[in-house]
C-alpha cells in the first residue's frame, strides 16, 4: 500500500472512530458504541472500560461496560494493580503475549496468546482491549494516532457523568418540589380547618363568658355570701381568656399563611411603632416591670406593613415579659447601613440549643416552658409576619441566662 | 437427504418412516418454493412427538447441488435445547439462558429472519452473554422476493422477526471467507438507519452507488434493474487482519436510499467491492479447507451456509463453488452428507473476534467428535 493510501486509510478509520463518540449522553450507550466500533474495525475480541466514579474511594476502578461481558472476570481494579502503575508512566501501551508482564495483566477468561491494548482515560480510568488474532501488536504510530481520539472519548465520558449527576439532582429536586407542594396543600387545608373551627368556637365561648358574668351579677343581687362561686367564675373567665387567645392566634396564623395575603406597606418610624406597642403593654403588665427602648444610629423611615411587623414585635415583647420574671426586657433599635435591626432581649429562662432550630415551627414549645401557658404559635406567626415584610428573624440564647430575638428589615 | 417437491402429508409420512436415533433431531431446510404447509406440518410432527426445527430459505443445498424447490433433511445429534428470540424489529430483546456445561463444547446453530432489522444487535447481545463459551453458525432465512413473512419454525410455531437458536453439544470447525475485493474507497456512510444507507459521502446513497458502478462497468443501474447489477457490487466494512465484512445492497427506494442485508452503522467507512468468479470460488474452497484443517475425521454433520447472492452473481458457475467445497472436504472427512441453505446473510464466530452477520459469504461448519 502506498504511503498516500495508508494515510487515507488511517484518516478514514480515525474519522469513523471519532464520530462514534458522543452520540449519546447515556454513559453506557456512549461507551458501548465507541468500544464496539473500535473492536470491530481493529479486530479486538474483548473490550472493557473501568472508571473511578466513587469520590470517597479513589482506590478502585469499577468495571462500567465490557463486551462480551461474560469474558471479563475482574469487576474492580485496585490502584496498586500493575496495569494502573503502567498507565502512570504512559498514557497508553500495547503488550504482546511474548513479552514479559503480559500474564500479570490478564483479568479475562480464555486469554492466552495475543495482545493487550490499554489507554488511560484522562483521570477517569482506562479502556482495555484484547485480541487473539492480531498478528502484530499496536504500533507506537497507531498509539499516537489514537491519542486524540481517546482524549475526545474521555471528555465525552466526563460529559456523560456530569449529565448523569445533573439528572440525579434534577430528579431529587423534582421529588422535593412535589413533596413541598403536597406539604403546602396539607398546610393550607389544616390552617383552613383550624381557622374554621376557631371561628365556630368564638360564639359559644362568648356565651359561656357572658353567663359566668351573669352568674356573678345574680349572686351579687341575691346577696348570697359564698366565696367559692366567684372563685369558680374567675377560673371560668381565665380559661375562656386562654381559649380566646388560642383562637385568636390560630386565626392569625391562618391569616398570615394565606397565599394571597396582601402586604400593605407604608412609611413608618419603627421606634414610634414600638413606643405605641409599649403603651399598650403597660396597661396589661401589672408586675411593675417596664420595657426599656434604646436607639442607635440616625433614624430613618422604613416602608413596611405596620400591622404585620407590629404583630411580630408585640409577640416577642410579650414573650420577653412572660419568660423573664424579675428583670426588665429591652428593645434595641439599631439603624444600620442597609437594614434597621430590632433586638428584643430578656434575661430569662433562655433556650436549649436543640430548641433554637425548632422554635419557629407551629405548635412547638420548649421543654422549659411547658408549665407556662402558651400555644406554641406566637413565634411561628412572628416569623411569618417578618418574612411577609421582606425581613429576617433569628434567635440567640443561653439557657437560664438570656434570649435575644433579632429582626432585620430593609429600608 | 433431499426431497424434491413434496406435499405436507407425504413429507410427514417420510419423516415418520425415517427413524431418529435417541438424542437426534430433524433439521429441515425448506426452499421458499416448497408446497409444504408449515403450520400443518408442525401439528403433525408434534402429534407424533417427533423433534424438529427448521427454516425457509431462498434455496437449499444438498451435497454438490442447490435447489430452489424441495426440502433438505438432516439429523442432528445431541441437540440440547431450542430457543426463540422474538421482537427483532424492536430494539429490546431478551437473550435466553442456555444450559451449558463448562467443560463441554457447544454450537449455537442460529437461524434469523434475514429481513428483520437489528440482526447485528441481536448477535452482539448473544455474544455479550456467551462470548467464546460456545461457537456460532447459521444464516438468514426468508424469501428472495424480499417480502417479509414467517420463515422460522419449531414445535412452538412459525415465526418472523425472530431468531431460532438450537444448542448442539458438539465440537465445530468453521471456515468463513467471501473473496470480494475492493474496487473503490474509502466511502463514508454518512447517514444510515439500521440496514438502510441513506447517504454516502453526504449525498443520496443510490446516486453515489450508481456513479461508481457506471464508472466501472459502463452500465447504468436503475431501480428496475437494481438487483441484477447490485449483486456484483457489494460494500465492505474494514476489519484489521481479516476479510472485510460485506454488506449486500438488495434494493433502492424513491428516496435514493440503499436497503442492505444487515446493519450499517452511521459514519462507517466503506469500500465498494467487486467480485471475480475465480476469486469467489477460490474463497469458498478456502473456507472448506480452513474448516477441515481443524476438524477430526469423525464428522457427524457438514453444514454449508452460502449467500444466495453468490449464486445470483456466479450464475451457472455456482455449481463449481459447491463442487470445490465438496472436493476439499473429501480430502479428510468421511461424512459427505452435506446439507445447508442459500441464505440472506450468514452467521459465524470464525476468527475469535466479534460475532458478525456476514453477507455474500461462504460458511462451512463441520460438527465432529
- Cβ <8 Å between A133 and B353: yes
Q: If you compute the radius of gyration of chain A from its CA atoms, what whole number of angstroms results?
A: 38
pLDDT value at residue B209: 97
Residues of chain A with pLDDT under 70: 55-57, 224-226, 259
Residue A82: how many CB atoms within 10 A of its CB? 11
The alpha helices in chain B, defined as continuous H runs, are 8-17, 38-47, 119-130, 205-217, 226-230, 277-293, 308-314, 318-330
Q: Name A231's Cβ contacts closer than 8 Å, sequence gap at least 6.
A: none
| Nearest by Cα to B88 from B119, B109, B56, B110 | B119
Quick one: closest CA in B to A129, which residue? B353
Give the separation between CA A369 and CA A366, rounded to whole angstroms: 6
- Cβ <8 Å between A20 and B267: yes
Quick check: A40 contacting B, CB < 8 Å?
Answer: yes
Give the separation between CA B124 and CA B131, rounded to whole angstroms: 9
Specify the residue for cell string 465445530.
Answer: B172
pLDDT value at residue A274: 93
B interface test, pick of A45, A47, A69 with most B CB neighbours within 10 Å: A45
Give strand pairing partners of A119: A92, A127
Quick one: closest CA in A to B241, which residue? A134
pLDDT value at residue B43: 97
Q: Name B224's Cβ contacts closer than 8 Å, sequence gap at least 6.
A: none
Q: Which of residues 264-303 of A touch B (CB under 8 A)?
A: none
- Cβ <8 Å between B186 and A8: yes
- Cβ <8 Å between A9 and B186: yes
- Nearest by CB to residue B240, choosing from A42, A45, A71, is A42
Quick check: A26 contacting B, CB < 8 Å?
Answer: no
**In tens digits, what is the pLDDT along chain B, a chain of 369 residues?**
999 878 999 999 999 999 898 889 999 999 999 989 999 999 999 999 999 999 999 999 998 899 999 999 999 999 999 999 999 988 778 999 988 888 899 999 999 999 998 898 899 899 989 988 899 999 999 999 989 999 999 999 999 999 999 999 999 999 999 999 999 989 999 999 989 999 999 999 999 999 999 999 999 999 999 989 999 999 999 988 889 999 999 999 999 999 998 899 999 999 999 999 999 999 999 999 999 988 876 888 999 999 999 999 999 999 999 999 999 998 877 766 799 999 999 999 866 667 889 999 999 999 987
Give the separation between CA B213 and CA B206, rounded to whole angstroms: 10
A interface test, pick of B120, B189, B265 with most A CB neighbours within 10 Å: B265
pLDDT value at residue A324: 84
Size of interface A-B (CB pairs under 8 A): 80
Q: Residue B313 — φ and ψ, nearest 5°?
A: -80, -45
- Nearest by CB to residue B132, choosing from A12, A69, A71, is A71
Q: What are the cell numbers at B25?
A: 433431531
Quick one: closest CA in A to B236, which residue? A41
Q: Which of residues 139-168 of A touch B (CB under 8 A)?
A: none
- Nearest by CB to residue A41, choosing from B124, B188, B239, is B239
User: pLDDT over 90 for what percent of chain A?
Assistant: 55
Quick one: closest CA in A to B240, which residue? A42
pLDDT value at residue A287: 82
Domains and CATH numbers, chain A: 3-169 (3.30.450.40), 175-256 (1.10.287.130), 266-410 (3.30.565.10)
Give the separation between CA A264 and CA A42, rounded to whole angstroms: 75
Q: To the nearest whole angstrom, how far is the Cα of A115 from the nearest Cα of chain B?
A: 13
What is the value of pTM for the model shown?
0.71
pLDDT value at residue B14: 94
Residues of B with CB under 8 A from a CB of A: 124, 127-133, 186, 188, 237-242, 245, 265-269, 351-354, 356
Give strand ranges (E) for B131-210: 135-141, 152-154, 157-159, 162-169, 171-177, 181-189, 191-193, 196-200, 203-204
Amino acid at each position: 500500500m502506498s504511503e498516500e493510501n495508508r494515510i487515507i486509510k488511517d484518516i478514514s478509520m480515525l474519522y469513523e472512530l471519532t464520530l462514534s463518540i458522543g452520540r449519546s449522553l447515556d454513559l453506557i450507550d456512549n461507551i458501548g458504541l465507541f468500544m464496539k466500533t473500535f473492536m470491530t474495525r481493529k479486530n479486538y475480541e474483548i473490550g472493557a472500560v473501568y472508571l473511578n466514579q466513587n469520590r470517597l474511594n479513589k482506590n478502585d476502578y469499577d468495571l462500567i461496560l465490557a463486551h462480551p461481558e461474560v469474558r471479563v472476570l475482574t469487576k474492580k481494579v485496585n490502584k496498586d494493580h500493575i496495569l494502573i502503575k503502567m498507565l502512570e508512566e504512559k498514557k497508553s501501551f500495547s503488550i504482546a503475549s511474548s513479552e514479559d508482564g503480559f500474564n500479570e495483566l490478564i483479568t479475562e477468561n480464555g486469554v492466552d496468546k495475543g495482545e493487550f491494548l490499554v489507554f488511560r482515560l484522562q483521570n477517569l480510568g482506562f479502556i482495555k482491549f484484547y485480541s487473539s488474532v492480531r498478528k502484530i501488536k499496536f504500533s507506537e504510530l497507531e498509539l499516537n494516532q489514537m491519542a486524540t481520539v481517546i482524549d475526545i472519548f474521555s471528555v465525552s465520558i466526563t460529559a456523560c457523568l456530569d449529565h448523569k449527576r445533573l439528572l440525579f439532582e434534577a430528579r431529587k429536586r423534582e421529588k422535593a418540589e412535589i413533596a413541598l407542594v403536597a406539604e403546602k396543600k396539607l398546610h393550607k387545608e389544616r390552617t383552613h380547618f383550624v381557622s374554621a373551627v376557631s371561628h365556630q368556637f368564638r360564639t359559644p365561648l362568648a356565651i359561656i363568658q357572658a353567663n359566668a358574668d351573669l352568674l356573678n351579677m345574680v349572686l351579687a343581687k341575691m346577696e348570697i355570701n359564698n366565696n367559692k362561686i366567684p372563685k369558680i367564675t374567675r377560673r371560668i373567665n381565665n380559661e375562656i381568656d386562654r381559649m380566646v387567645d388560642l383562637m385568636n392566634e390560630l386565626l392569625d396564623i391562618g391569616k398570615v399563611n394565606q397565599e394571597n395575603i396582601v402586604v400593605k406597606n407604608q412609611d413608618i418610624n419603627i421606634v414610634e411603632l414600638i413606643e405605641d406597642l409599649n403603651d399598650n403593654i403597660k396597661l396589661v403588665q401589672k408586675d411593675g416591670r417596664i420595657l426599656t427602648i434604646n436607639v442607635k444610629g440616625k433614624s430613618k423611615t422604613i416602608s413596611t406593613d405596620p400591622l404585620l411587623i407590629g404583630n411580630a414585635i408585640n409577640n416577642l415583647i410579650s414573650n420577653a415579659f412572660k419568660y423573664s420574671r424579675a428583670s426588665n426586657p429591652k428593645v434595641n433599635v439599631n439603624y444600620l447601613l442597609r437594614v434597621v435591626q430590632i433586638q428584643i432581649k430578656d434575661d430569662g429562662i433562655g433556650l436549649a440549643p436543640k430548641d433554637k432550630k425548632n422554635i419557629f415551627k407551629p405548635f412547638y414549645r420548649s421543654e422549659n416552658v411547658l408549665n407556662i401557658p402558651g400555644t406554641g404559635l406566637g413565634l411561628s406567626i412572628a416569623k411569618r409576619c417578618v418574612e411577609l415584610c421582606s425581613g429576617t428573624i433569628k434567635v440567640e440564647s443561653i439557657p437560664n441566662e438570656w434570649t435575644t430575638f433579632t429582626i432585620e428589615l430593609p429600608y | 437427504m433431499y426431497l424434491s417437491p413434496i406435499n405436507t402429508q407425504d413429507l410427514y409420512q417420510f419423516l415418520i418412516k425415517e427413524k431418529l436415533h435417541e438424542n437426534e433431531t430433524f433439521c429441515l431446510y425448506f426452499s421458499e418454493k416448497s408446497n409444504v404447509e408449515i403450520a400443518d406440518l408442525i401439528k403433525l410432527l408434534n402429534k407424533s412427538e417427533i423433534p424438529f426445527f427448521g427454516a425457509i430459505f431462498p434455496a437449499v443445498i444438498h451435497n454438490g447441488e442447490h435447489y430452489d424447490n424441495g426440502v433438505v433433511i438432516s439429523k442432528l445429534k445431541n441437540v440440547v435445547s431450542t430457543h426463540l428470540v422474538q421482537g427483532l424489529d424492536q430494539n429490546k430483546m431478551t437473550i435466553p439462558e442456555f444450559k451449558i456445561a463448562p467443560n463441554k463444547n457447544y454450537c449455537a446453530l442460529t437461524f434469523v429472519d434475514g429481513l428483520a432489522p437489528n440482526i447485528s444487535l441481536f448477535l452482539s447481545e448473544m455474544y455479550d452473554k456467551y462470548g467464546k463459551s460456545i461457537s456460532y453458525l447459521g444464516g438468514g432465512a426468508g424469501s428472495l422476493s424480499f417480502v417479509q413473512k414467517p420463515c422460522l419454525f419449531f414445535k412452538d410455531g412459525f415465526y418472523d422477526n425472530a431468531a431460532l437458536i438450537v444448542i448442539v453439544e458438539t465440537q465445530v470447525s468453521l471456515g468463513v471467507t467471501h473473496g470480494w475485493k475492493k474496487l473503490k474507497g474509502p466511502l463514508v456512510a454518512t447517514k444510515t438507519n439500521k440496514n438502510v444507507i441513506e447517504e454516502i459521502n453526504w449525498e443520496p446513497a443510490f446516486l453515489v452507488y450508481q456513479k461508481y458502478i457506471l464508472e466501472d462497468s459502463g452500465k447504468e443501474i436503475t431501480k428496475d434493474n437494481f438487483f441484477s447489477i447490485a449483486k456484483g457490487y457489494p460494500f465492505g466494512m474494514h476489519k484489521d487482519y481479516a476479510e472485510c465484512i460485506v454488506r449486500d445492497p438488495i434494493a433502492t427506494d424513491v428516496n435514493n436510499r440503499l436497503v442492505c442485508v444487515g446493519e450499517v452503522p452511521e459514519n462507517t467507512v466503506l469500500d465498494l467491492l467487486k467480485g471475480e468468479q475465480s476469486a469467489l470460488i477460490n474463497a469458498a474452497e478456502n473456507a472448506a479447507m480452513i474448516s477441515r484443517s481443524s476438524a477430526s475425521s469423525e464428522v457427524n454433520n457438514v453444514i454449508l451456509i452460502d449467500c444466495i447472492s453468490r449464486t445470483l452473481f456466479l450464475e451457472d458457475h455456482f455449481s463449481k463453488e459447491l463442487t470445490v467445497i465438496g472436493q476439499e472436504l473429501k480430502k479428510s472427512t468421511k461424512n459427505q452428507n452435506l446439507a445447508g441453505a442459500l441464505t440472506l446473510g450468514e452467521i459465524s464466530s470464525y476468527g475469535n473476534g466479534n460475532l458478525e452477520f456476514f453477507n455474500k459469504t461462504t460458511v462451512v461448519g463441520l460438527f465432529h467428535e
